Amino acid sequence: MILGSLFFYVVLILFSDASKISDHFIHIRIELIFLIFLFGISSHIIKSFRQKDFLQMVDEKIPFKQNLIIYLAGMSLIATPGGIGTFIKSKYLKHKFGIPNNKSISVIFLERYHDLLAATTIILFSFLV
């Protein structure tokens, strides 16, 4: 999968106008890049709070800092086929906090379900505009 993506981008770059692409990158406003990073980081922090709330729903409590670290560890493996790498969080939660796999996996499925609902909502609103 990764090699296929890499191949796609190499071919795309080879057949595109590199000077046009570099011109567009040069004209990007710095303040917009800052806003993009700010929204990206904020999104991960909010989703980490969501994970913490879901864990509390199954009577499991972990400190926010540890929760954020485990959330980001799972996100680092989201590029695996089907996003199956996010289930590594279950291993970390069991190893560090003794949270049973059935509870942590149900939280992960609930997170994926909420992501699907959010994506569906965005798609539906985009059709209306």
pLDDT in tens, 65-106: 999 999 998 888 887 887 788 888 899 999 999 999 999 999
pLDDT at residue 52 tops 90: yes
How many other C-beta atoms can be found within 10 angstroms of the C-beta atom of residue 104? Answer: 24
Residue type, 6: L
- How many other β-carbons are positioned within 10 Å of the β-carbon of residue 91? 14
Identify whether the C-beta of residue 89 lies closer than 8 Å to the C-beta of residue 109: no
C-beta separation of 108 from 89 below 8 A: yes
